[in-house]
Structures are given as C-alpha cells and as structure tokens.
Amino acid sequence: MRAKVYRDAWGIPHLRAGSPDELAYVQGRNVAADRAWQIEVERHRSQGTTAAFLGAEAVGWDRFVRQARLDGTARRCFRSLDESTAAWLTRYVDGVNDSLAEGARRAGQFAAAGLAPGRWEPWTPLGIWLSTHILFAGFPTKLWREEVAHALGDDAIELFATDGNRTSGSNGWLVTGERTVTGAPLIAGDPHRFIEDPGIYQQIHLSCPEFDVVGLAVPGVPGIAHFAHTGTVAWAITNAMADYQDLYRERLRRRGAQVESLGPEGWRPASAHRETIEVAGGDPVEIEVIETERGPVVIGGVDEATAISLRLPSRVGGDLGFGALPALLRARTVAEVDRAFDQWAEPVNVVQAADTAGGLLHRVAGRVPQRHRDNKLRVVPAWEAAHEWRGPHEPLPRESVDGIAVMANQRGLATPLGVEFAPSHRAERIRSLLEQSAAWSAKNFTAVHMDTQLASAKPLLELVSRVEGLSTGATLLRDRLVGWDMRMDAESTDASAYADVRSAVVRRIAAHPALRELAERVEAAPYPQVFAPWLALVTRVAFALERLLTTDALPGIDRAAVVREAVEEVAAAGRRATPWGERHRLAPWQALPAARPEVWPGLSGDHDCVLSTSSVPGLTDLSSRGPAARYVWDLAEREDSLWVVPFGASGVPGDAHHRDQLPLWLRGALVPVITDWNRLTEEDMTSETPARLRKAVYEQTVDGFGTVRIVPLTPAADVDLIHGWVTEERARFWGMADHTREQVLEIYEYLDSLTTHHAFLVQRDGEPVALFQTYEPDADPVGECYEVQPGDYGVHILIGPADGRTERGFTGEILRVLIAYVLADPAHRRIIVEPDARNQKAIERMVRAGFELGPEIDKPEKRARLAFFSHEPQERRG
C-alpha cells in the first residue's frame, strides 16, 4: 500500500500506510509540514537552545534544561528502547527530517526569527516529551513550601496546599452503557494546559493493516498517547497529581579540577562540565552543569551558597516508557490498554478506558518512587540516608467503574501518591450533572464541558453576606453578590463584580503583616526565574483563597475585616459593570508573538469551574490556561465521536485551518470524527505541487459562479504568471509596470519571508484569476498614515486578465469571497484598502462592495484613497 495523506473538511490529517514503520514516517512528514515552526521550537526547548533565536528572555529556560540534562536523559532513554520501538521512532524522525525544510518555507516565523530548520536525532521526540512534561509534577512547589516552613513554621508547610494554575484543571469522565442512549460506554473530557498557538494537541487519524486509531497527538512525538479511539477500545487521561520528582539540598566542593558532593556515604565525585548558551542580540552565557549521585544540580552550584539537585525516575531508570506508545496503537481491548499502560513512566496519570465488549478501566499509570514522606513535601538533605529512594516503585491504585467514573485531578484514586490535589468542586459538579440523566449521548455531553458553576465562591460569598455597616454603594454591591447565581458566564456582569472583590481580598491577604516575612523570603530567595510562578505570593494566595478563608491557620488575619475592606474598595472604585468575557480574555502563549498585539476573544468559566479557564485573581483576569482540546469517544459507533481544539489543525498562519475551530471551541461545539476514507480528500504532499493542486487556505463554492479557492503564492513557481499580470497596462496602478521578472521574483520572495504580509493566488474552478495580498497595517508604511485600530487588516487585490470571461459581476463575486475569508478570522474586525487615488474605477468597485471611503493619504510611492469594510466576524468555512 502506498502511503497516503487525506484531509477532512477541517484539515485534520488522516494518514494511511502499509506498515507501522511506514506510517510513523508519514506521521513525521505530516507534522513537519503542518507544524514545522512549533516542533522546531519544541526541539530547541528540549535542547536548551531557544535563546539563540528568541533572545535573552529565553536564557532562563535554556539554563534549566541544560542543567537538568534533559537532552542527555532523552539519549539515555532512547538507548534503552527495544529494537522495534527504536526503529519505529527513528522512522518518524526520518519523516520529520525529510519534510522539515518544506514545512519551514510555509511558516514565516522562521524568517522572522532568523532561524533555519535543523536536523532531528532519533531521541528528539523523547526530549520533547521530557521538556513538555518536566514541570507537570510541580517539583518547584517544594521550594515554596520550604519558604512557608521557614517563615510560618513547619506546621504551616501545607497551608497553601491546593492546586495552582500550572498543574490542574483537566476533566475526564466515563459513563457506562446503562446511562447512555446506545447502551455502549462514552468517554469524554478536556485536558487543561497552557493554551498555545499552535495548539499542544493535534487531531489525527493513523491507519495501517495492524491498527486504525484516531486521537490527539503531541506534535513532535509519534503515535497517540493520551486520548484515542481504536474502533474497539478508547482511553483518556488526566494528571494524577502524583509526586515523583525530588529536590535535594547538596553540599558541593572543588578538589582541584574535580567537583565532589556530600552523600550518605561521604564525599563522592560529581560530574561537571561547562556549556555556552548562545543568545540572539546578546553575549553568550557560560554555565556549569553538575550532576551528583542524586541527580543534576538545577539551582545554584559549587561556588554558590545554595545547590539543589533534581532526581527524576526517567533519568535514574533510563526509561521514559515510550514502549507504551506503539502498544497502545495496537490495543483492541481494555486489557491490552491496561498492559500497555503498565509500561508508562511519566507524567503519572489517571487513565480511563472502555471497549465494545464491556471492558472498563480506571487506574493510575506511571512510576512513583518509594521514599520518605518529607521527600514529597520539601527540599531534603542529600547527605541523609533516610531520603534515598528505596525498593520498587509505589503500587499504582485502580478501582472498578460503577455507572460513572470521574477524574478531575481531585483527591481520591491517586491520594497515596501525592500531596496537593485539585479541590473536589469540578469532580463533584461533573458527577452531579451526569447523575441527572440516564440517556447520555456524545452530542449532549457539551453541557458538561461548558458548565460554569463556581462552587469555590461560596466561602467568600458567605463572608460577604455577613458584612454589615457598609456604605450605600458597598451595600448595593454586597446585595448584588448575595443574589448572584455563581456562574462565571462571559455575559455576566455579576461574575465580574465577584472577580473584582475576590482580587481585592487576595491582594489584601498577600499584603497583610502576617505574611510579611514570607513575602520577604520569597522575594529574596536565590531561585532561578523559571521557578518564579511557583513562588509568587499573590498567586499562591489566589489559589489557596478558599482554604485561607475557612481555616484558623493564619490567626493574625481578620478575615471579616479583609472582606469588608475589599467590598468597600471595589464599590468606591466605581468600575463600569463590564461582562466577564470582556475582561476574561484568551491569552495564548506564542513563541514568537505577532508583530502587533492580537485582540483575543472573551471566555466563560474560571479555574474551579468544569469549564476551567484559569486566570490569576489579584494579578490578571486574562486566561492563559484552559481546555487544550475537548473530546467524546463513543464506543457504540466511532464516527459518532466528537472533538475540537482551540485553534485548528494547521500551525501555519494564514492557513484555512489555522484557527477555523476557534469559534466552535469558544461556544462549546465539537467537530465530528470522520474515519470513512470515502469522505476524505487525498492530498499530494510533494513540494512541486502546481497551484491548482495546492492546499487552499480558503475555499467557497458560489452558486452559478463556481468554486473559488485561495492558495498560497509560491514565488519561484508563479513568477512568470505574476510578472505577466503586473506589467500589463491595465495594472499600471500596481506599480510594477517596468519591473523585470527577477525584480518581481525578489519582491515576492521577500514578502514570502514575512509573518505580517502574505501573497495568494485566487482561483476559480482551478484557474488563476486574481492576485491577493494581505498585511498588518502596523507593520506596513500605511500604518503611519492613519490611526490603526485593533483588528485592522489590510489587503491588495489585482484581478487578472479577462481571458475570455464576459459575465458581469465577476469582480464583485471574487471580492465577496475575499472579504469572507478575511473576516472569517475573529481577530480581523475591519478590512483596509488603499487604491491609488487616481484609480477611480477601483475606488468605485470598492464602494459597490460595501467599503466606506476614508481620507486620501500620501505614501512614498503614491497618493492613495483609504477605504474601510467593517462586519461582524463569521465562522470560517473549510
């Protein structure tokens, strides 16, 4: 069977090959084509080389990764793989390497960052897995607890023990056939992570004679690990909140050229060498990398007052559990999924699975070392034998499934393995909702995904309700909050009022004299910047607020007085009653942010809602964490399953499927899972694809007119066509009438290198009919000629020669499609055009299309007439 790539209407890749190894190769090629920039950033993150193109701000991460020896651990774990898994992994990497340069040409970020695509090694996917999950167990929390114990006493070490905004929020639930309309189980959920653009999960379909699997893959890693459906069995995971990484306080010394560390058996040699971090726009940074018998030193060093090492199961055992990945792809039953997860290493997860034969699974998977309880709580002395790891790994809990099983990072199944867990609110709310029906289907699970009840608000609201003697404005605010339904809906102004009071309470507690010593300690703590989020007092108070309002562990704080002052503060501020969604906006992480700030949409939800869209009360209402995907696996019929991701299948800006799922994700809608090959479109992945066969960024069929496709312009392939168009007399206002072929090629190759400007060919029924260019006004000379507004997007349009076309209205139909394409992106609120002021024909055409005329402006090359088209964004059609 020849390997093939297919796409559905949402651009989701469906890959087919004759063997698992060949399929791995095609998966590697596909991810390099769709996500080249993303996976190259992840490769550099795993190697500690991001500062070389991202600059000084990335040095902290690079230092940590190198000192933690993640790349070396990846190499060690690769060497321990069985021959079959190593070969499978290598074929994936071969595919990446063979397509990376082509993928990089599609991604303008490479040129913007001055980065050339590199070469992947067979262990690179293991390194990416490590760097993606190294902070999942939250070992920096032990640094925080150390400071709490020193400032408030050992009895207070767990005072702030609640989930933070970096560790939890994921939901998963399994409903057995007794509670579904089909009589077969359903599995659903939504992994909670930092929302990244492109997204951390890639929807994908992998098929060969040995297996046929749909699921959510991690770009840069072969197979499908976390969430998948093989047709007869499906599984999903959440973070178990287990503690499996330890921090040791080291004593180091130099003996000549040798570094030594003090362990239970005395002074022992430690490995040490120096590395250089290259920094774009700055001087190189030299670091010392030290590893003791416990692990790599990630804080301080031999010449510093503090030295702390990190011990990881994967580095100690040389096994990252990658043998589970191909085993999961081949699984047909719950028993086979169970056996595959026996190989799992990290992160430690709660797993749910169900199969078509009635099998059910609810267990923990991963490796948790046996050791002293203090190891889980804080930094422990390396020289005390009591803190050494001992014996086999901790036994992994499991339990039977009776109708409903819920996993939401809460204390429960995984309790013996961890210290801090998420509050039980999400888990209890999900169970309560599921118990309300015995007729669940994949489609009606959306109501669970999108639930916005905030049970954690109760303690604060109870204190608010008891406050008396308030000013008139504060009394009105109190009464308003007491009557609030505790739903963090985007349109709710009461939710915003609650958030204001909550933030004021958080700030007042964090600034209270009772916590002054703790604040001073964390401010002066000698820890790298990469650990700062775990040591931020306001953040810690924000996520422990419910506990701090219901415990006497801080007797010096008069909670009623704090709440009174907060209510008065918010009332006196007189802040306009804005809907929650106007302030609680999406704030995704981008390795290379856009040239101008994007206006991201507002969100419903909050950290402790089932719709867990996390902000940091007291600091910001923006949400950088949330559901990185949503899924529903139907065991009755796989094609009745549903899924969605925050952005889209493609990581290429401007691609039709870069952000086409965002409107659906915002409102809780899901995309159908398609596995019928007859409903898919085969794709030619060769780099020499002619324009008529290129993948469109947008496509629309217009009744009575034809199919209009917008495809990326390839300068080298299209220069003859474009040169012919722009040098015609009819195109004199385009400004290239006297340009040579080489000059036109140079112009469009330069445009192709930019992330802010793009060029496209417009086709009707496969034939090129127009040249279409887009740009961000802030990054263009036109931005200096008028007041650019958020959401402005500029375009240039050159209609090609008629070539026999005689129908009236041709240009108008093309313009309508181009306008629809631009406004399909919710970030684009207004289209800007700037035809030559002498080109009256073009100006009249724009007016007929609905543009409003603006002023004339003087640009270096022409006097232009501005025109603007505003419209409510519409969903992109693929």
Are 603 and 541 a contacting pair, CB within 8 Å? no
* 268, HSE (Cβ side, Cα atoms, 13 Å): 14
DSSP 8-state secondary structure symbol assigned to residue 402: B
Strands lying side by side in the sheet with 297-300 = 297-300, 307-311, 246-249, 380-381
Three state DSSP letters for 560-629:
HHHHHHHHHHHHHHCCCCCCHHHHCEECCECCCCCCCCCCCCECCCCCCCCCCCEEECCCEEEEEEEECC
Residues 6+ positions from 485 with CB-CB distance below 8 Å = 494
Helix, strand, coil: what percent of the chain each, to 5?
A: 35, 25, 40
Determine the Cα–Cα distance for residues 269 and 32; give it in Å rounded to an integer.
43
State the Cα–Cα distance between residues 208 and 479, nearest whole angstrom: 62
Pairing of strands 192-194, 171-175: unpaired
Cross-strand partners of 252: 261
User: Which pair of tokens denotes residue 681?
Assistant: 């479109």
Phi first, then psi: give them for residue 237, nearest 5 degrees. Answer: -140, 165
Does residue 170 have an active-site annotation? Answer: yes
What is the residue-wise DSSP string for 174-233? EE-GGGBSSSS-EEEEE-EEE-BSS-S-EEEEEEETTEEEEEEE-TTS-S--SEEE-SSE
Catalytic residue, from 170, 492, 604, 612: name it. 170
Q: Which residue has the tokens 């019928």?
A: 676
Q: Which amino acid is at 60?
A: G
What is the number of alpha carbons within 13 Å of residue 82 lying toward its C-beta?
A: 10
Alpha-carbon distance of 151 to 474, in angstroms, equals 35
Give yes or no for a contact between 715 and 69, defined as CB atoms under 8 angstroms apart: no
> What does the block give as tokens for 51?
């500062």
Q: Hey, what are 134's tokens?
A: 């190294």
Task: Please compute, for residue 325, the number of CA atoms within 13 A of its CA located in the half-sphere on the CB side.
Answer: 28
CA–CA separation, 699 and 76 (whole Å): 47
- The stretches of 414-471 forming alpha helices (DSSP H) are 425-434, 446-449, 458-465
Q: Which residue numbers are catalytic?
A: 170
